[in-house]
Structure 1
Amino acid sequence: MSPGPTTEESASPNIAQERYGFPKQGKYSLSYWLQGVQRDPLLNYRSTPEFPSSVDIVVIGSGMTGTLVAKHCIETWPEKSVVVLEAREFCSGATGRNAGHCKPDQWRGFTDYEKTFGTEQALKILENEQQTWSALVKYVQENNIDCDLWVGDTLDVPVTPEVADATKKNFERFKAVGGKVDHIKVTHDPPIAAEISRIRDALACYAWPASTLYPWKLTAHIMRENLEKGVNLQTRTKVTSVIGSPKYPEKWVVKSERGDIECSHVVHATNAYSSALEPSLRGLISPSPHMCDRIVPPVTFVGSASLENSYGVLLPDGGLFSINPRSTAEGSVLFGGSNPGQREFEQWLQEHPERCIDDGMLGFESVTKAVQTFAESQIVGWNAKFIDHSWSGIIALSADGVPFVGQLPGLSGQWVCAGHHGHGMARIFTAAPGLVKLMSGSSWAETKLPEVFQLTRSRISRLTKLFKKEERIEVHPRL
């Protein structure tokens, strides 16, 4: 087995051995995105030096989910006070650590979703991803946001006969039940697929419109508009618990290391860390570290010879190389996903469960080696032999593969939008405003979200029973 990952700081041996916890304090890895904004004053921003003692709405978490929830709250109720609490730097969690994709799943997850939720809901889940991507692109373009948005064809490329066959069957099943495929360009001719994708062992190629972007910069733009409208942002403020108000039965007290805030509504927007604050979500939303690597392309891959598409290279057992060639002049290539080295990493995590919330890891040998081996052997003409930078981020695995959106059962006024299963950029832009509609009293139908996203007592009960019986649904991160 590979040695443990390189870290910024060793984990404390006193951390409880459960697979949940609060964001890592102290030193943590700097993602490619966070490296580029280290002088931005928003990172450690506090709207007011004093800590508010009472507000209408507390949003916990300042990533894309929390920032969008705050946006829609202040637009829905301009008269209400909204505070966003962030345990560390602004947007320093998953949104600031991902591989930079907004890639709507068109059919890849269909078979798994259909098996778990039925045909109708499976179609709705994938339709929602398309709607989310369209909403994000429209918002960026209409507001002229500087976040390196690229719109073009993303490619899904199976590279083994078994995966190619399964992918084709999945696609045909999706098409047969009414899935929209007219916009997807497909070739099952290996030489043509290899030519299109520049992947040596490509056996097929599926292409459709998607995007890459600088997620931190998009989130920062939205937060700055929130601040202008009166939202109060308090970074470096770790929430430790949420309890009922001793004075007012209908209110909550959000306790933090800097003081307590009394409020009417609490929104849990901490994704992988949600189960640390809310015990009912333990086992249903689980933190899972993943690595991202940045490679400087070889001189043979610059200018007009650069990689032009984003990729999902499909591997056996749900494995995936997620590839994001930066569309900027800097032109580096980001590798994420659940590559063949992830399995060894996960075995190591079984022995060190306290590290499941540790995004201070700077790399893991088997993951990095898998990226190097793939780039050198599979990308035609590639001869780079080094990785420039690695970092870690924490994915929020959902027990059934879809988010939890809604009010916590039995806890009126506490709301959740979390558990995006490694696919938040293709879900949050519709899930967050959907949650705010529920907060305003709208019906679930008015959110236009798939019914299976709804946080209900029956869903929690069903998944908790599966978890206790160790019969959890097998769902791979979407990435």
Structure 2
Amino acid sequence: MDERARIPVSLPCANPTVSYWQDPPDELADHRSTAELPDTADTVIIGSGITGAAVAWGLLQGPNPGSILMLEARQACSGATGRNGGHTKAASYRTFAHHTQSHSRAIAKQIARLELRNIRAVHAFARAHAVPCDLHPCDTLDVVYDPAEWAAAREGVAALRAAFPPFPSDRRYTLYSREEVLRRFPVHDGVFEGREERVQGGVGYFAGSLSAYKFGIGVLRACVERGLNLQTGTAVTGLVAVSPAAAAAAGKERWEVSTERGVVRAGRVVLATNGYTAGVWRQFQGAVVPLRGQVTAQRPGQGMPAGGCLDRTYSFIYGRGYEYMVSQPEGSRFAGDIVMGGGLARAQEEGLMEYGTTDDGAMNGEISQYLRETTERYFGPDWGEDDPDGRVRSEWTGIMGFSPDGFPFVGEVPGESGLWTSCGFQGHGMVLCWECARALVEMMEGRDGEELREWFPDVFRITQERMAQRFRGRLDAIPKDGESN
């Protein structure tokens, strides 16, 4: 893992796989608000995914937002936001005990609250601004196949229930026995590499799904209408702090942002670059490690209930790994399609070679084959015969960003005045990005006081000590206590 973490991080590749969500691309995909880059900007945001869009939106709500320039290496919203499954799901019960033991119960509660608030905020923005993103608030079900994971799930639910009395309706957790899962839901025992994997039980709770691409585009469109200068196809090739003397002469412009289209001087810069962050600012090498994820969109089997338009989302949890699944709701372009992501832990060396790569123009053939087989494995007889046009409609990859301690980095980069970031979301950006961006805007605007600390976890704040930790891989894949390495 040390070797993978040391691979120099590149900028986004020029020819990525075609994401299901970006086919066809939105009319904003290649947008440039002005024909030429401005010479200066008060704020430059690098990256146009949910984080960049949410930061821009937050700044634009202020009384004096100044000039905001957003630079995107490829098309708008073409990174992880436009490539993930759109699962607005916070499995807080799976991490609550770990956060309590590693930090404190108060911090664990802050994180759980933030995750739920993030889901609510994303759903609320989509409704309030009529963003056409196939929003589907619904329950979810985690189907657990591993005895140790099932024991941990029951303990986690009990801990959350004890921490949040009375339990709010959208934070409720329902435990289902093996018999209840098999009776009530279209899931079954499966076989992997000749070994039977038996359902142990399930956990149900509030979640939802949407097209993260369409949502991100919707936020960007609202920002452009309010004055954001969006420049796509404009990769950042250099970022340097202006010398104190030059900065004094230039005024408030403290950063020089270089692109192939020219140089922009900025008062402050925001790295909304997640897995690519070290490609822009090398001090993040080994602190935010890219990890390539893989997703398939599958036409529903002919036996699937409601034609595949299921009433909830799913995750399938086994020892050291999981898959997540959403179905496209009624009224969407491909209603009933099953979007399945994951499979990393099933690959050779548990997906070791996917760490450190920023090449979302290629796929892992082993993971492709595995994901193609997951729907029939998990849904069993309820899947039925494949669609006459074939099971797989689309498959693609995307780049996530992981930190050594499993938390995002949010705040002003240590020792670099005016350089800000919100990155490293551990593959859970849909339940972290929005609220982390809101916190970052508060910090940038000088409102970093007790009110912010009441709701935003200190463990998310960027520090030199956190950046210097050794990267070990996905923390949610580290064995549970009592398991062998």
For the aligned pair, the TM-score class normalised by the smaller chain equals: 0.7 to 0.9
Deviation per residue, 1:184-234 (Å, 9 max, x gap): 342342111122332213322211111100111111111112111111001
1:73 partnered with 2:72: no
SS in 2 for 1:312: strand
Deviation per residue, 1:354-381 (Å, 9 max, x gap): xx100012x3233233334332232142
Q: Distance in 2 between matches of 1:58 and 1:474?
A: 31
User: Which residue of 2 is the match for residue 7 of structure 1?
Assistant: none
Identity value in percent:
28
> Is the Cα–Cα contact under 8 Å of residues 13 and 361 in structure 2 kept in the other structure?
no
Q: Residue type of the partner of 1:257?
A: E
Question: TM-score if structure 2 supplies the norm length?
Answer: 0.86
Give the aligned length. Answer: 448
**Consecutive aligned runs of 4 or more in structure 1 exceeding 6 Å deviation:** none
Change in Cα spacing, 1:332 to 1:233, as seen in structure 2 (3 Å) is same
Q: How is 1:268-287 mapped onto 2 (pairs within 5 angstroms)?
A: 268-287=271-290
Deviation per residue, 1:317-366 (Å, 9 max, x gap): 2x11100111134220000134542454623447xx5xx100012x3233
User: Which residue of 1 is the match for residue 193 of structure 2?
Assistant: none
1:22 partnered with 2:17: no
> Is the Cα–Cα contact under 8 Å of residues 43 and 68 in structure 2 kept in the other structure?
yes
> Is the Cα–Cα contact under 8 Å of residues 21 and 82 in structure 2 kept in the other structure?
yes
Deviation per residue, 1:142-161 (Å, 9 max, x gap): 22221100011111111232
SS in 1 for 2:286: coil
SS in 2 for 1:391: strand
- Among residues 429, 437, 443, which one is paired with 1:432 in the alignment? 437
1:234 partnered with 2:252: no
Q: How is 1:135-284 mapped onto 2 (pairs within 5 angstroms)?
A: 135-178=121-164, 181=167, 183=169, 184-201=172-189, 202-246=199-243, 247-249=246-248, 251-284=254-287
User: Which residue of 1 is the match for residue 92 of structure 2?
Assistant: 106
1:452 partnered with 2:459: yes
> Is the Cα–Cα contact under 8 Å of residues 47 and 71 in structure 2 kept in the other structure?
yes
Q: Residue type of the partner of 2:61?
A: E
Deviation per residue, 1:360-417 (Å, 9 max, x gap): 12x3233233334332232142135632221000111121111111001111111001
Q: Distance in 2 between matches of 1:306 and 1:146?
A: 18
Q: Distance in 1 between matches of 2:30 and 2:374?
A: 38
> Is the Cα–Cα contact under 8 Å of residues 345 and 367 in structure 1 kept in the other structure?
no
Q: Residue type of the partner of 1:320?
A: Y
Q: Distance in 1 between matches of 2:410 and 2:269?
A: 13
SS in 2 for 1:401: coil
Change in Cα spacing, 1:238 to 1:69, as seen in structure 2 (3 Å) is same
Q: Distance in 1 between matches of 2:338 and 2:477?
A: 21
CA apart distance, 1:302: 5.7
Q: Distance in 2 between matches of 1:474 and 1:347?
A: 10
CA apart distance, 1:163: 2.1
Q: Distance in 1 between matches of 2:65 and 2:400?
A: 35
SS in 1 for 2:12: coil
Q: Residue type of the partner of 1:127?
A: R
CA apart distance, 1:27: 1.4
What runs of 5+ residues in structure 2 fail to find an aligned partner? 190-198, 479-485
- Among residues 373, 381, 402, which one is paired with 1:397 in the alignment? 402
Q: Residue type of the partner of 2:206?
A: P
CA apart distance, 1:22: 2.9
User: Which residue of 2 is the match for residue 382 of structure 1?
Assistant: 383
User: Which residue of 1 is the match for residue 367 of structure 2?
Assistant: 367
User: Which residue of 2 is the match for residue 322 of structure 1?
Assistant: 324
CA apart distance, 1:165: 1.7
What runs of 5+ residues in structure 1 fail to find an aligned partner? 1-15
